[in-house]
Structure 1
Amino acid sequence: MSFAVRFRIRLRSALGLVAALALAGSLAACSTTSATTGSGGGKGGAELRLGFFANVTHATPLVGVEKGFFAKELGSTRLKTQVFNAGPAAVEAIFAGAIDAAYLGPNPAINAFARSKGKAIRIIAGATSGGASLVVRPGITSAAQLRGKKIATPQLGGTQDVALRSWLASQGLKTDPSGKGDVEILANTQNAQTLQLFQAGRIDGGWLPEPWASRLVLEAGAKVLVDERTLWPQGRFVTTHLIVSTKFLTAHPETVAALLRGQVAANDWIAKHPAEAKAAVNAQLQKLAGKPLKPEVLDRAWSNIEVTNDPLASTLATSARHAEQAGLLEHTDLKGIYDLAPLNAILTKTGHPAVSDAGLGTE
């Protein structure tokens, strides 16, 4: 059995364990349930179980929950939420039937699609572009100085993990899926733990989503070595999008449409009320994490993201190629990973331009 095959087997086992622990933790401590009583068209499902992260890059679901946009559209359908640290754990929860939909990054969605041979999930909307950076100790000013250093990522095979490995390879630095190589990668490091390890001098940086990149900069003296926006055309790339299990989409299309209406309404409100939106995000983060972000952290993090319904599908294939090159994914045909028809119907009805699936849709 080759190393690559052995690694993929270990990766799946590890992710299953991580997901089980994350799911148990979120059920015990981070899960919120709200019963709704409106008439927003949520028929078709008694309950929608939605996953997302307590990150600024998840502004859409944070605002959607905090300001009641999801609840209004879901009507009598009960919304149950679960919070995860990174996408692979949320994918495992979908595979286990524990949640129906999730906001997460591109690489976990690609992995879910590949592992299920295109059957388990569909991407149905975008959410965020930008908001990820490699932050390091001030003395590190080049890629070459990372040799022999320790860099953390939220989870093995997650979006920031793949981005780090891809960038290091582009700089001539070798890594392997186990985390060894010219740079030691500490995958599966909780974002809060990354901050603590950096402050204690035990790691040299991390490729992190917002607000954690900003927290390391403002609270721990880190500096930005790579703003991921600089690596993409026009500085736009998918950081967060919305996926749904195909089983739930098929059984409850009205509920999925209601969720999408809630998202479009939430994003419209964010665009028109940025100050209030930041406050809503912080209020939800306080509920989930026990304390709000400092104003300067929130302001910096907010300036690094773009909230959008567009899934930026043309960047997905690039993310998949990066994962393949890192040895974390076999080559996968992504045709059919998107189903944007429900979103585009809503966008057209509300006067927004339709978004593209870049030829990777179900049509």
Structure 2
Amino acid sequence: MKRRNLKISILVLIVLSLLIITSIGTGAAASELKEITIGYFPNITHAPAIVGVSESIFVDQLNGIKVKTKIFPNGSLFMDALATNQIDLGYVGPGPAINRYLQGADVKALASASTGGTVLVTRSDFEYNSVTDLNDKIIATPALGCTHDLLFRQLIKDHNLNTNRRGGSIDHRAQKPATMVGLFATNQLDAAVVSEPWAARMEADLSSKVVVDWDQMPWDGKLPAAVVVSTIQFIDNNPDLINNFLQAHQKTVEYINNNPIQSSKIIQKQIKEITRQELSIEIIERSMQRTNITSELNSSVVQKLADLSAELGFIKGDSDLNGFIDISYLNRVSQ
């Protein structure tokens, strides 16, 4: 009997030793992190990422950790990269992050990067007085169920209108912004909901009119245009790094707001290097005027977006975002 108890005691000690070794190994892996990869888009609404990387604000704040970057054309590919550890954290529109979270993905939003940046623009000869003038007209959004599309749906819902997809008389079409330009020019499109810099480009090239500005859009323009996200596992394993990253993010937000002219030049240069397309400084500056660069993340507005997406059938099942947003790290660095 004593020999059996001794064997059990030895087995328990072995298990405990393995657990201790495993926990020490995990801690070492987190503390010995040598580099991180940040994902973002070459968009105006991702300005904190563009400026923070260009001006080495992230590098300076991350205490010698190497910073790599990965550029994405859309939120779906970004979320795929986050899920497969190709990136550690980064900037993405709220829609893709919400959808993946509600599907069970390991993702958490830590801060906003910008709000606004999305407007309703019409063809130059469109006689517009109010949202009700959109009835019986052809309206485009970049994709069905994207953030811009949901803003459009809420905008017309607030005025008791609906699309032909849901029994209304607005001819609603999904078109890429580059395609919208040609459709405006040939009078095949009456209006569109787009993000910057597309609206500013349409104004400059086609004399299009912004008839509902960013702060007149649903929820008073408080909906995040881009959020900072990472996985729960990465956050939990690297709390100090997350604090430092958000400090860099906050410093970049303040830099952009305090230096709008210089920031516009930085963004212009970086977008050209990434996309091989040069936007005039006038378009960049006008786009920045319609984009509120902020780290403040309004959870109630984000929840309203998720609820609308579920109501329209883009989200299946529960739209409760409890656990998706964690601003505790942001609150620490903002004190």
TM-score range, shorter chain: 0.7 to 0.9
Give the equivalent residue in structure 2 for 1:106: 94
Gaps of 5+ in 2: 1-29
The question of 1:161 aligning with 2:140 is answered no
Deviation at 1:242, TM superposition (A): 0.8
Deviation at 1:64, TM superposition (A): 0.6
Q: 1:47 and 1:161, CA in 2 relative to 1: closer, same or farther beyond 3 A?
A: farther
Q: Is the 8 A contact 2:151 2:217 kept in 1?
A: no
Aligned counterparts of 2:46 and 2:98: Cα–Cα separation in 1: 19
Give the equivalent residue in structure 2 for 1:37: none
Give the equivalent residue in structure 2 for 1:262: 248
TM-score (norm 1): 0.75
Residue deviations 1:100-135 (CA, integer Å, cap 9, x gap): 22312222222121111xx51111111112111011
Give the equivalent residue in structure 2 for 1:115: 103
Q: 1:158 and 1:50, CA in 2 relative to 1: closer, same or farther beyond 3 A?
A: farther
Give the equivalent residue in structure 2 for 1:352: none
Q: How many residues align?
A: 303
Give the equivalent residue in structure 2 for 1:244: 230
Give the equivalent residue in structure 1 for 2:115: 129
Q: 1:265 and 1:183, CA in 2 relative to 1: closer, same or farther beyond 3 A?
A: same
1:205 to 181, 188, 191: 191
1:332 to 319, 324, 329: 319
The answer to which structure has the higher helix fraction is: 2
Give the equivalent residue in structure 1 for 2:333: 346
Q: Is the 8 A contact 2:118 2:195 kept in 1?
A: yes
Give the equivalent residue in structure 2 for 1:278: 264
TM-score (norm 2): 0.80
Aligned counterparts of 1:332 and 1:233: Cα–Cα separation in 2: 18
Residue deviations 1:190-232 (CA, integer Å, cap 9, x gap): 4333334433444333211111111112222221232242145
Q: Is the 8 A contact 2:303 2:320 kept in 1?
A: no
Give secondary structure in 2 for the equivalent of 1:264.
helix
Aligned counterparts of 1:193 and 1:73: Cα–Cα separation in 2: 41
Aligned counterparts of 1:310 and 1:144: Cα–Cα separation in 2: 32
Q: Is the 8 A contact 2:151 2:218 kept in 1?
A: no
Give secondary structure in 1 for the equivalent of 2:225.
strand
Give the equivalent residue in structure 2 for 1:351: none
Q: Is the 8 A contact 2:37 2:89 kept in 1?
A: yes
**Whose radius of gyration is greater, 1 or 2?**
2
Correspondence 1:1-363 to 2 at 5 A: 44-116=32-104, 119-138=105-124, 139-141=126-128, 142-175=130-163, 182-187=169-174, 189-232=175-218, 235-329=221-315, 330-348=317-335
Give the equivalent residue in structure 1 for 2:25: none
Aligned counterparts of 2:71 and 2:185: Cα–Cα separation in 1: 25
Give the equivalent residue in structure 1 for 2:18: none
Q: 1:86 and 1:152, CA in 2 relative to 1: closer, same or farther beyond 3 A?
A: farther
Code of the aligned partner of 1:126: S
Code of the aligned partner of 1:104: V
Deviation at 1:144, TM superposition (A): 4.3
Q: 1:181 and 1:233, CA in 2 relative to 1: closer, same or farther beyond 3 A?
A: closer
Q: Is the 8 A contact 1:88 1:157 kept in 2?
A: no
Q: 1:232 and 1:200, CA in 2 relative to 1: closer, same or farther beyond 3 A?
A: closer
Q: Is the 8 A contact 1:44 1:253 kept in 2?
A: no
Aligned counterparts of 1:96 and 1:69: Cα–Cα separation in 2: 26
Aligned counterparts of 1:132 and 1:152: Cα–Cα separation in 2: 13
Aligned counterparts of 1:228 and 1:249: Cα–Cα separation in 2: 32
Deviation at 1:148, TM superposition (A): 4.8
